[in-house]
Amino acid sequence: MTSAPAEEGGGALRTVHVAGAGLIGASVGLALRRAGVTVTLSDADPEVARRAEELGAGKAALPEEPVDVLVAAAPPAAVAGVLLEAVAAGRARTYTDVAGVKEGPLRAVADAHPGLASLVGGHPMAGRERSGPGAARTDLFEGRPWIVTPLPGSGAEHVERVEALALACGAVPVRMEPAEHDRAVALVSHAPHVVAALVAGRLAAAPERAVGVAGTGVRDITRVAESDPAPWLSLLTANAAPVAEVLRALRADLDRALDALDALAAGGATTDDVEALLRAGNAGRQRLPGRHGGPVEHLATVPVVVPDRPGELARLLVAVEEAGVNVEDLEIEHSLGQPAGLAEVLVRPGEADRLAAALTAAGWSVHR
Ligand SMILES: NC(=O)C1=CN([C@@H]2O[C@H](COP(=O)(O)OP(=O)(O)OC[C@H]3O[C@@H](n4cnc5c(N)ncnc54)[C@H](O)[C@@H]3O)[C@@H](O)[C@H]2O)C=CC1
Ligand SMILES: O=C(O)C(=O)Cc1ccc(O)cc1
């Protein structure tokens, strides 16, 4: 679908060049093309740019004229080099990036060009565990925060143009200073990643019989530990000090939890301290915004037994559609060798009873 060029702030956004056509660069290209923007793409590996073009993310070429915005979508360690080359070649009116750390890469460019008004950092808070253009999605940024980090020298029109870029990608722009950004992502993304890796690492050499009885809790808390280490190594290298600060505070919490558990194990202590840490967890989790950046959406789960036969899941989804209910999310629990799996259909709370009744009437086994 193509619409008129994106109009919000800083004038219309008509032309964008994306340097780095991997997961994020190609997703930016796809989203901008959907918004009617003309996109050109380049990559250190021309084959990657060609694949992104094939998927519809833009034309694999350098721009012939300066574009409205150049987006550096290379790994964090390469971003400053990409921006410096582009600024030297005069490729755009406004320059931005999407790297997951902001202070280091932006300072390197600002140091070479003090007071450069056309430079504004950016970081979409959306990603996937896979990389490369083949993993790109047009709707990757839909409803997600896109952190925009102006520098002291950034001009207002350039900040607005980067916000227009975020909006054209379907994201919600949020302004922060680079250092505030780096502390925030250390807290909500980088340190949690390290903790997930540490928890999952405990399982690596554990007895098979213990790992074999794992349920959904440990899967939930270790999901991101499945990611390719390379991009996370770049992020942790570039944001080491803020991440260490979060982990040091966590170490103090862990020491308090140990004291409380040791006291319980020794007998005679109350459960107050352990309860306090569990309640602090409830309070923190409650503060996480929902998928669209608003308050947490509490979805209702309708668990349905799905026989392990080809086409059964598709048949279930058709039955949900026939019930007139929108699927907000879908999770599948399935153990090897079992003749059936459990599909957890997540729907708006007001619709769960109606869906359960409709599926039961249609012959599905609903576990509620
Ligand atoms: N993967 C994720 O979940 C997210 C990543 N980001 C940021 O997006 C940026 C790109 O990450 P991904 O798309 O995930 O990685 P990716 O590995 O899918 O793509 C990066 C691309 O940059 C290219 N590249 C490397 N050096 C280059 C250079 N000097 N000039 C031009 N292209 C170059 C690589 O060949 C590769 O195709 C990173 O800075 C990352 O921090 C931001 C939000 C989420
Ligand atoms: O880790 C997270 O919180 C994500 O939601 C995915 C992600 C990974 C890397 C980024 O730079 C930004 C977002």
271 within domain boundaries:
yes
Residue 108 scores a pLDDT above 70? yes
Q: Is any ligand 2 atom within 6 A of the Cβ of residue 125?
A: yes
Domain that residue 96 falls in: 15-175
Which of 175, 194, 210 is the last residue before a domain boundary? 175
Q: With contact defined as beta carbons under 8 Å apart, do 67 and 15 qualify?
A: yes
Cα 31 from Cα 122, distance rounded (Å): 16
Residue 294, domain member (yes or no)? no
d(CA 273, CA 259): 9
Distance CA 268, CA 211 (A): 32
Say yes or no: CB of residue 124 within 6 Å of ligand 1: yes
Would the CB of 234 count as within 6 Å of ligand 2?
no
| 121, 143, 175 - which closes a domain | 175
Whether residue 159 is found in the same domain as residue 45: yes
ipTM score of the complex? 0.98
Residue 2 lies in a domain: no
Ligand 1 within 6 A of CB of 75: yes
pLDDT at residue 116 greater than cutoff 70: yes
Distance CA 70, CA 126 (A): 20
Residue of 28, 185, 189 best suited for mutating to test ligand 2, as the one with most atoms within 8 Å of CB: 189
Residues 100 and 207 in one domain: no
Mark whether 275 and 331 lie in a shared domain: no
pTM comes to: 0.83
Q: Which amino acid is at 97?
A: D
- The answer to whether position 137 is within a domain reads yes
CB of residue 26 inside a 6 A radius of ligand 1: no
60-107 tens-digit pLDDT: 999 999 999 999 999 999 999 999 999 999 999 999 999 999 999 999
- Rounded CA gap, 203 and 220, in Å? 14
Q: State pLDDT tens for residues 239-291.
A: 999 999 999 999 999 999 999 999 999 998 999 999 999 999 999 999 998 75
Instruction: Tell me, yes or no, whether 253 and 112 share the same domain.
Output: no
Give the CATH number, domain containing residue 39.
Answer: 3.40.50.720
Asked whether residue 19 falls in the same domain as residue 159, the answer is yes
Q: Of 142, 175, 208, which residue sits at a domain end?
A: 175
- Rg over CA atoms, the chain: 24
The 10s digit of each residue's pLDDT in 16-56 is 999 999 999 999 999 999 999 999 999 999 999 999 999 99
Which residues, listed in sequence order, are joined to residue 124 by a DSSP beta bridge?
146
Q: How confident is the model at residue 330, as a pLDDT? A: 86
- Among 102, 123, 125, name the best residue to mutate to test ligand 2's pocket (greatest count of ligand atoms within 8 A of Cβ): 125
Same domain, 22 and 164: yes
pLDDT at site 286:
96
Cβ distance 12 to 36 under 8 Å?
A: no
- Residues 219, 105 within the same domain: no
pLDDT digits (tens, 9 = 90+) for 306-352: 988 889 999 999 999 999 998 988 888 765 557 788 898 988 888 99
pLDDT band at 139 (very low <50, low <70, confident <90, very high): very high
Domain total of the chain: 3
